[in-house]
C-alpha cells in the first residue's frame, strides 16, 4: 500500500480549513455595529421559526421522517432522536455560538437581560450532513442576526446574514448529527464575533 507523505496530509487539512473559512459569508444588510463599541456584554435570543432542513421546506416533516426511520430500526430510538434534535439547541448549539462569539468579539454573550443590546440569531436553514465513515457530507447553517435594543426590540441597530457556516470536527470524528451542527454554530459565532470586533473598533 502506498503511504501518503505527512506533509501532504497537513497540506490537505490546511486547504480544507481555508476552503471552509472562505465558504462562510457574513454580510451586513442594515445599519452597523458601531453602537457595540465599548460594550462588555450582550444579551442573546434565538429563533427557529420556519427553519428549512436539507431538502425539507418544513422542519417538522424532516423530524417526522427521521423519527419514523429510527423507530423502525429500533423501538423508541426515533423518539429519543427527535427529543435530542430540539434539546440540542439550548444545550449544545447556543452555548457554542456564544462561546466563540465572546472570544472573538471581546463582548460576553449570554442570558444578560440587563445588557443594553440583544443579539437575536434566527436560524433559517440547517444541512445536517452525515458521516458513515467511508462517506461524509459536512453540516452547515444559514441564518440572520439582528442587534436590537434590549429595552425595545423594535429598535433595530443592525442586521446581518450568515451563509454556509460550516460544521465538521477535526479528524472527521463527527458521527453525531448534533456534534456537526454544534460546530456550525461555533463557526458562525467565531466569524460574526470577528466581524463585530472589526466594525466596532
pLDDT digits 0-9 by tens, 106-128: 999 999 999 999 999 999 999 99
pLDDT digits (tens, 9 = 90+) for 4-21: 444 444 434 443 443 344
Terminal alpha carbon distance of the chain = 54
Tens-place pLDDT, residues 142-187: 999 999 999 999 999 999 999 999 986 544 444 578 999 999 999 9
172 Ramachandran zone, left/alpha/beta (phi>0; psi -120 to 50): left
Cα angle, residue 102 at apex, residues 150 and 23 outer, rounded to 5°: 105
DSSP structure class, residue 36:
G
Residue closest to 183 by CA, chosen among 83, 81, 88? 88
Burial 10-26 (b: 16+ CB within 10 A, else e): eeeeeeeeeebeeebeb
Mean pLDDT of 182-199: 95
Strand 136-137 and strand 139-149: the pairing is unpaired
CA 29, CA 122: separation in Å to the nearest integer? Answer: 14
Residue with cell 430500526: 73
Amino acid at each position: 500500500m502506498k503511504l501518503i507523505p505527512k506533509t501532504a496530509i497537513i497540506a490537505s487539512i490546511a486547504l480544507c480549513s481555508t476552503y471552509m473559512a472562505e465558504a462562510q459569508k457574513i454580510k451586513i444588510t442594515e445599519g452597523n455595529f458601531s453602537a457595540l463599541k465599548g460594550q462588555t456584554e450582550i444579551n442573546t435570543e434565538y429563533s427557529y421559526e420556519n427553519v428549512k432542513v436539507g431538502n425539507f421546506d418544513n422542519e417538522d416533516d424532516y423530524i417526522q421522517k427521521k423519527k419514523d426511520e429510527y423507530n423502525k430500526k429500533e423501538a423508541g430510538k426515533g423518539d429519543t432522536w427527535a427529543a435530542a434534535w430540539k434539546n440540542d439547541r439550548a444545550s449544545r448549539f447556543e452555548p457554542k455560538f456564544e462561546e466563540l462569539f465572546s472570544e472573538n468579539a471581546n463582548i460576553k454573550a449570554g442570558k444578560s437581560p440587563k445588557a443594553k443590546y440583544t443579539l437575536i440569531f434566527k436560524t433559517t436553514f440547517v444541512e445536517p450532513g452525515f458521516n458513515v465513515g467511508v462517506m461524509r457530507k459536512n453540516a452547515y447553517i444559514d441564518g440572520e442576526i439582528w442587534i436590537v435594543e434590549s429595552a425595545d426590540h423594535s429598535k433595530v441597530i443592525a442586521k446581518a446574514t450568515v451563509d454556509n457556516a460550516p460544521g465538521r470536527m477535526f479528524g472527521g470524528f463527527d458521527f453525531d448529527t448534533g456534534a456537526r451542527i454544534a460546530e456550525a454554530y461555533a463557526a458562525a459565532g467565531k466569524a460574526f464575533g470577528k466581524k463585530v470586533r472589526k466594525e466596532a473598533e
